[in-house]
Amino acid sequence: EKGGYAHYMLKEIFEQPDSIWNTIRGRMDSDRGNSVLSGLNVQPRDLAELHRVLLIGCGTSLNAGLVGEYAIEDFAGIPAEVEQAAEFRYRNPIVGSKDLVLAISQSGETADTLAAVREAVDKGALVAGLVNVVGSTIARETGRGIYLHAGPEISVASTKAFTSQVSCLLMIALKFARAARMSRERGVRFVKEIEAIPDQVREVLKQNDHIAEIAENYIKAESAFYIGRGYMYPVALEGALKIKEISYIHAEAFHAAELKHGSIALLTEELPIIALVPDGPGKDKTLSNVAECRARGSKVLLVATEGDDEVNDYGDDIIRIPAAPLHAAVIPATVALQLFAYHVARLRGCPIDQPRNLAKSVTVE
């Protein structure tokens, strides 16, 4: 049932060109430069009234929410905020009928996310689910939303759910942007940018053997730092979460600018840096942060754009992703880090599909 793969996680990583396609298929209107998200049931007229979008979730789904926050603000110009679902419930949030709450959950059963959904419903907000499991509690209680259609995710470490969640959030950003100031022409390009993602993921998957070789240089680490800026900051968070979960290496993700505000004190030759530096805004700044780390002897793994030779002198190892605008590059960059985490864990002899202390769905608070 693992389709010839050694682990479900690897199978699910490799399924992503198809699972992402299944998420976007039939939901893009290339002619109108828009997305068609009927289950969301939000009309352009409702959007004009909207004050804010709140994205809630836990773990990987929370990291996806952060990408959604950036994309919705970036393209649609609607204030957006991401919040850990448990925090949302317990801090008596200010939320009401002019707010759209997007509850993000692979399983649709996560207790904290469900409790937040109920709180948002009680406060009169518009609540929609971004859920993978059809008929799950969150899908039912939100009543509106978008199914991911990523197919069953068995591995405890979430992979294809994240890339489908991000694909959905980009489609939402497009829809909201088109109801505001985004032109049809820009919308048409945006659709193309999303549709290009499955092939970009294929390009990353082709480097599986190369990534496995690179992974060997990192298996002795006790701790690792992941850094990125802008759209690459959630990717850093997700990369660090993956490696913690399955390889048991302590990892932390930082906004690249934050490192120098304290944590840089921890750097030694034993602590590698994984830096997200695809070509685009923020790259040069992150590279300067990388240079500061290298000056302290840290080994550096870069995730960079194919053909971008400017980065060559900054990293000991480099994983290349195809050229893409950063909101789309989130997905191939994450896939690169999924494979990296997988191989590090495999080489360390870890039980990849069933990491210690973890269950697939967290139905207790």
* Active site residue ranges: 360
Residues 64-83 that bind ligand M6R (CB under 6 A): none
107-115, 211-219, 222-230, 287-295 -> range binding ligand M6R (CB under 6 A): 107-115
Q: How many CB atoms lie within 10 A of CB 154?
A: 14
Q: Does 247 bind ligand M6R (CB under 6 A)?
A: no
Helix (DSSP H) and strand (DSSP E) numbers for the chain: 14, 12
Q: How many CB atoms lie within 10 A of CB 183?
A: 11
| Alpha helical stretches, state H, 27-146 | 44-49, 59-71, 85-90, 111-122, 137-142
Distance in Å, CB of 163 to ligand M6R, minimum = 12
Tell me how far apart the alpha carbons of residues 282 and 260 are, in angstroms, rounded to a whole number. Answer: 16
Q: Does 60 bind ligand M6R (CB under 6 A)?
A: yes
Among 61, 142, 289, 305, binds ligand M6R (CB under 6 A): 61
Tell me how far apart the alpha carbons of residues 217 and 202 are, in angstroms, rounded to a whole number. Answer: 24
Comparing every residue's Cβ against ligand M6R, the nearest one is: 59
Name the one residue in this structure whose structure tokens are 């490696």: 243
Among 42, 55, 157, 243, binds ligand M6R (CB under 6 A): 157
25-33, 150-158, 173-181, 255-263 -> range binding ligand M6R (CB under 6 A): 150-158
Q: Does 286 bind ligand M6R (CB under 6 A)?
A: no
Distance in Å, CB of 103 to ligand M6R, minimum = 9
Beta-sheet strands, E only, within the chain: 28-29, 34-35, 52-57, 80-84, 99-105, 126-131, 145-147, 223-228, 250-255, 273-276, 300-305, 317-321
Q: Is 315 helix (H, G, I), strand (E, B) or coil?
A: coil
Q: Does 237 bind ligand M6R (CB under 6 A)?
A: no
32-40, 58-66, 287-295, 343-351 -> range binding ligand M6R (CB under 6 A): 58-66
Q: Does 163 bind ligand M6R (CB under 6 A)?
A: no
Q: Is residue 58 a contact partner of residue 112, using CB atoms and an 8 Å limit?
A: yes
Tell me how far apart the alpha carbons of residues 67 and 71 are, in angstroms, rounded to a whole number. Answer: 6
Q: Which helix (H) or strand (E) holds 282?
A: none
Q: Is residue 229 a contact partner of residue 254, using CB atoms and an 8 Å limit?
A: no
Distance in Å, CB of 162 to ligand M6R, minimum = 8
Distance in Å, CB of 7 to ligand M6R, minimum = 14
Toward ligand M6R, which CB reaches closer, 107 or 334? 107
Q: Does 137 bind ligand M6R (CB under 6 A)?
A: no
Distance in Å, CB of 59 to ligand M6R, minimum = 2
- Contacts with ligand M6R by CB under 6 A lie at 58-61, 105-107, 110, 113, 156-158, 241, 245, 361-362
